[in-house]
Chains A and B, each alone.
Chain A
Amino acid sequence: MIRLAVASLLNRKASAWLTILAIAVSTLLLLGVERVRHQTQENFANTISGTDLIVGARTGNTQLLLSSVFHIGALSNTLSWQSYQHLQTLRGVAWHIPIALGDSFGEFPVVATSTDFFEHFRYADRQALVFTQGDKFNDAQSAVLGAEVAKRRQLKLGDKFTISHGSGGISFSDHDAHPFTVNGILERTGTPVDQAVYMPLSGLGLVHGESSSDTTHEGEHDHTHEHSHEPPVYTLSAVLLGLSSRPLALRMQRDINTYQGEPLTAIMPGMALTELWRTLNLFEKALLAVSTLVVATGLLGMLTALLSSLRERRREMAVLRAVGAGPITIFGLLVSEALILAIVGVGIGIGMLYLIIGVGGEALLANTGILLRATPLTTTEWSFLAAIILAALVLSFIPAWRAYRNALADGLTIRV
């Protein structure tokens, strides 16, 4: 019966292929949306690891997370150097990374930080940053590039570049007077680190004229000078904290949030991410609903094709009846045709998904920053596919029932 169904479908190649194509494209869309949703979450979750608290001026949790780690959006408030110094003195703080944002190099954000960033920052599964070339910045005029920045701007070690004030695009206040030298290039991480330029806080102080002197004592995390001299910058955007023991985070968060010196916000990255997903939930649902409707359209196309084919296939049905096929067989024939169309369509849809990830993954990453990986289908994706095929099965009962009724009514009379 399957072979008969295949032969019959091949006889109607054009309409069969169009139906398959419609199902394939709608499958592709559904899988694509699900994959973008799932892997974006994964990528976001991979961006930061091992950091127990992120501290910034009083602001929204999501905003602090997005701007400090993902370089999305801007922080309007800053925290003072004094607060940073206070944070360092808290019991249980194992390491601390100061972050000052606000400048950019072309479309790439500039992150002013200390060399502790390269020591302590972890991403994905507690992986440390690795240099492909060079090393950390060693004076106020040197910088480290993320992999993508180096690649897109074709910068090598020793090359000089200037940054500008403000985030991205054209700026009217370029810091042309203070060029930076590339001192190191980081290995690709698949996180926003790739898209950023790192420079010492003293460098930022220099270009903004905050720093009193531009000569000797800058840069290195020489803890003694912080107390004795002027700070490299007066304000920071955020501070990443690592704790000696994780359970401390909750209490410390409360302590920081109630700090008397100035209003501060401390967030736990994991919880802030969860909160962010909850906000985005509505969009995800909308996207999923749209792609589900597209799948429904594809399946309805199949239903139309099968129903309209029935009229011209009455002869075929009569022949099958004459050689002894019962009405149930006719019913089964239509159902198997629908299943073949759906399964082939879904299969091609899966193929197209991997083809697009394989061929267009790079372009997608470069243009949209969405990283899609050709990982095997997840359980959710499999259940979507199963649902498509199940829906096709149920829908096929309609033409199958019609054919069954026709077969009973027509018998051996051939109506052409």
Chain B
Amino acid sequence: MTSTCIELNNLEFQWPGATRPLLSIPQFSVQQGERVLLRGASGSGKSTLLSLIAGIHAPAKNQLHVLGHDMGKLSQRQRDKLRANEIGYIFQQFNLLPYLSAVANVSLAEKFSPARRRRVNETSRNHNERAKELLLQLGLNESDLFRPAHQLSVGQQQRVAAARALYGSPALIIADEPTSALDADHRDNFIQVLFNACQQYNTTLLFVTHDGSLAHHFQRSIELNEINQATSGRL
């Protein structure tokens, strides 16, 4: 297994019809198990970079490797499969299907991923138990586990989302401004439990935010503007 989790090599990306590339990153990599903060103002190409890493959109060949796979060579279906199996994704908000319970939302992660199902099988006898365990670890109350997601507070919803991202031990978790809807207390607390869980399962964390004040939590903090020449050239 390669120790490099994400590797960018002369990544150039522009939307069809655009005149200039949105991303132009000569070199950037994240090691397995690393927790990296990626900072960027809105409009700096953050979301695009994340959707490339998550395999929603495809870059050109040999520009982006995730977990050893050249994302430019994989088909749409293969990229979806890689995301299902190895990438947990946490949105800014609205992470959950509002009509499912917290536990059902967490086990949604294995619906499309045989690999996660298998890994849960190895560590735990009961899948619901595993989901509950993660939710409790991330600080949800026992009484909230089976409430429909739309009844939970925003903070609780983000924890459920984190539990889902961690469920079945994927190699990489991408968190796209997961704390921006939280107040300061909840934010620090959320980051702490997320860190602990990532450390425990040796999961790589790519944490994206526009809020620089979070940098002190992280081993490494990177400014997107500094690595992305497309943006810096324009400014």
* B residues less than 8 Å from A411 (CB atoms): 51, 56-57
* A residues less than 8 Å from B91 (CB atoms): 318-319, 322, 412, 414
* A residues less than 8 Å from B164 (CB atoms): 323
Q: Give 3 closest A-B pairs by Cβ, nearest first.
A: A324-B84, A11-B99, A411-B56
Check B76–A324 contact: CB distance below 8 A: no
* B residues less than 8 Å from A316 (CB atoms): 97
A interface with B by C-beta (< 8 Å):
1, 4, 7-8, 10-11, 315-316, 318-329, 411-414, 416
Q: How far is the CA of A324 from the CA of B92 in the complex (A)?
A: 18
A411 → chain B closest CB, angstroms: 4
Q: Does B10 contact A (CB under 8 A)?
A: no
Given A11-B99, A315-B94, A319-B97, A325 and B80 touching (CB < 8 A)? yes
Q: How far is the CA of A10 from the CA of B99 in the complex (A)?
A: 8
* B residues less than 8 Å from A7 (CB atoms): 97, 99-100, 104
Q: How far is the CA of A306 from the CA of B57 in the complex (A)?
A: 27
Q: How far is the CA of A323 from the CA of B164 in the complex (A)?
A: 9
* A residues less than 8 Å from B98 (CB atoms): 11
Check B89–A412 contact: CB distance below 8 A: yes
| Nearest neighbor of A4 in chain B, beta-carbon distance | B111
Check B77–A323 contact: CB distance below 8 A: no
Q: How far is the CA of A322 from the CA of B98 in the complex (A)?
A: 15
Q: Does B81 contact A (CB under 8 A)?
A: yes
Q: Does B95 contact A (CB under 8 A)?
A: yes
* A residues less than 8 Å from B104 (CB atoms): 7
B218 → chain A closest CB, angstroms: 22
| Nearest neighbor of A329 in chain B, beta-carbon distance | B112
* B residues less than 8 Å from A326 (CB atoms): 76-77, 80-81, 112
Q: List 19 A-B contacts (CB under 8 A).
A: A7-B99, A318-B91, A319-B91, A319-B94, A322-B83, A322-B91, A323-B108, A323-B112, A324-B83, A325-B84, A325-B112, A326-B80, A326-B81, A327-B76, A411-B56, A411-B57, A414-B92, A414-B94, A416-B94
The contact string, 1 if C-beta is below 8 Å from chain A, for chain B 94-110, is 11111110001000110
Q: How far is the CA of A82 from the CA of B120 in the complex (A)?
A: 98
Within 8 A of A (CB), among B109-131: 109, 111-113
Q: Does B47 contact A (CB under 8 A)?
A: yes
The contact of A412 among B50, B77, B85, B109, by CB within 8 Å, is B50
The contact string, 1 if C-beta is below 8 Å from chain A, for chain B 133-164, is 00000000000000000000000000000001
Given A326-B76, A327-B76, A8 and B99 touching (CB < 8 A)? yes
Which of A323, A326, A414, A416 has the largest number of chain B CB atoms within 10 A? A323
B143 → chain A closest CB, angstroms: 21
Given A4-B111, A10-B99, A324 and B81 touching (CB < 8 A)? yes
Q: How far is the CA of A11 from the CA of B164 in the complex (A)?
A: 21
* A residues less than 8 Å from B67 (CB atoms): none
Check A413–B113 contact: CB distance below 8 A: no
Q: How far is the CA of A220 from the CA of B97 in the complex (A)?
A: 85
* A residues less than 8 Å from B100 (CB atoms): 7
Check A413–B76 contact: CB distance below 8 A: no
| Nearest neighbor of A13 in chain B, beta-carbon distance | B99
B49 → chain A closest CB, angstroms: 12
Q: Does B54 contact A (CB under 8 A)?
A: yes
Which of B50, B98, B104, B111 has the largest number of chain A CB atoms within 10 A? B111
Q: How far is the CA of A327 from the CA of B79 in the complex (A)?
A: 12
* B residues less than 8 Å from A321 (CB atoms): 56, 80
| Nearest neighbor of B93 in chain A, beta-carbon distance | A414
B99 → chain A closest CB, angstroms: 3
Q: How far is the CA of A341 from the CA of B70 in the complex (A)?
A: 42
| Nearest neighbor of A11 in chain B, beta-carbon distance | B99
B115 → chain A closest CB, angstroms: 10
* B residues less than 8 Å from A320 (CB atoms): 97, 108
Check A412–B99 contact: CB distance below 8 A: no
Q: How far is the CA of A7 from the CA of B83 in the complex (A)?
A: 24
Given A4-B111, A322-B89, A329-B112, A413 and B99 touching (CB < 8 A)? no
A56 → chain B closest CB, angstroms: 70
Q: How far is the CA of A8 from the CA of B97 in the complex (A)?
A: 9
Given A7-B99, A11-B98, A411-B51, A323 and B109 touching (CB < 8 A)? yes
Check A324–B94 contact: CB distance below 8 A: no
The contact string, 1 if C-beta is below 8 Å from chain A, for chain B 208-219, is 000000000000
* B residues less than 8 Å from A324 (CB atoms): 80-81, 83-85, 109, 112-113
| Nearest neighbor of A416 in chain B, beta-carbon distance | B94
Q: How far is the CA of A321 from the CA of B108 in the complex (A)?
A: 11
| Nearest neighbor of A313 in chain B, beta-carbon distance | B97
* B residues less than 8 Å from A325 (CB atoms): 80, 84, 111-112
Given A10-B99, A319-B97, A412 and B56 touching (CB < 8 A)? yes
B22 → chain A closest CB, angstroms: 14
* A residues less than 8 Å from B50 (CB atoms): 412
Q: How far is the CA of A322 from the CA of B87 in the complex (A)?
A: 9
Within 8 A of A (CB), among B47-85: 47, 50-51, 54, 56-57, 76-77, 80-81, 83-85
Q: How far is the CA of A264 from the CA of B96 in the complex (A)?
A: 83
| Nearest neighbor of A315 in chain B, beta-carbon distance | B94
Within 8 A of A (CB), among B177-201: none
The contact of B111 among A315, A323, A416, by CB within 8 Å, is A323
